[in-house]
Homo-oligomer: A and B are copies of this chain.
Amino acid sequence: MGVTMDGTKQQRRGNTRQRIQDVALELFAEQGYEKTSLREIAERLDVTKAALYYHFKTKEEITVSLFEDLTQPIEALIEWGRQQPHTLETKQEIVRRYSEALAGAEPLFRFMQENQATVRELRIGDTFKDRLRGLRDIIIDPEAPLVEQVRCVSAMFTLHAGMFVMQDLEGDPGKKREAVLEVALDLVTQAHRGAHGTE
């Protein structure tokens, strides 16, 4: 990995920060935040622990930086969603785009989902929950019956589940993602109809 024909470590200059982030995310997602020590990250990168501290002030800051870099798509999505009319089509589009965003930042979401207890203390936790709430508030109609609101949350959660739990369902991954998306779309559609009639 990253070793060239002459055996030297190529690409080592100028991208260490990025490499730290990559390895950290990978290990955090794989083994959990607490189980992943800076020693381990450093060893994988073949640098010293102190090098990590040159690039990030604390372990927490590594994590924060991961969030900042990777939650931008969601941020953008919320922004977009806010400016659309609250129609069924918008909601469906949100679900579709959210599904994509999740797929694009799978390890981060996996990390978050599997380390909630940790993330919660990480002061970024709130920020992120806020964002999700933002999304939710776009597809949820606060006037709608409670059941329909639940259906919307369920839709989003189905997408999350799609990333992990569904993995051990049989079937082609692509098809599975489609199926998950379909279920989620159905849920918001039902929610919308339940709230506004079949329009």
Interface residues of A (CB under 8 A from B): 31-35, 113-118, 120-121, 133, 142, 146-147, 149-151, 153-154, 157-158, 160-162, 165-166, 168-171, 175-176, 179-180, 182-183, 186-187, 190
Contacts and interface: CB of A to CB of B under 8 A. Distances in A.
Contact of A113 (B32, B116, B158, B162): B116
Closest 7 interchain pairs by CB? A32-B117, A34-B34, A114-B116, A114-B117, A157-B161, A154-B158, A146-B179
A151 B183 contact: yes
Q: Which of A31, A35, A150 has the most CB of B within 10 A?
A: A150
A153 to B, nearest CB: 6
Contacts of A147: 179, 182-183
A117 B118 CA distance: 10
A144 B146 CA distance: 30
A35 B169 contact: no
Contact of A118 (B35, B113, B165, B182): B35
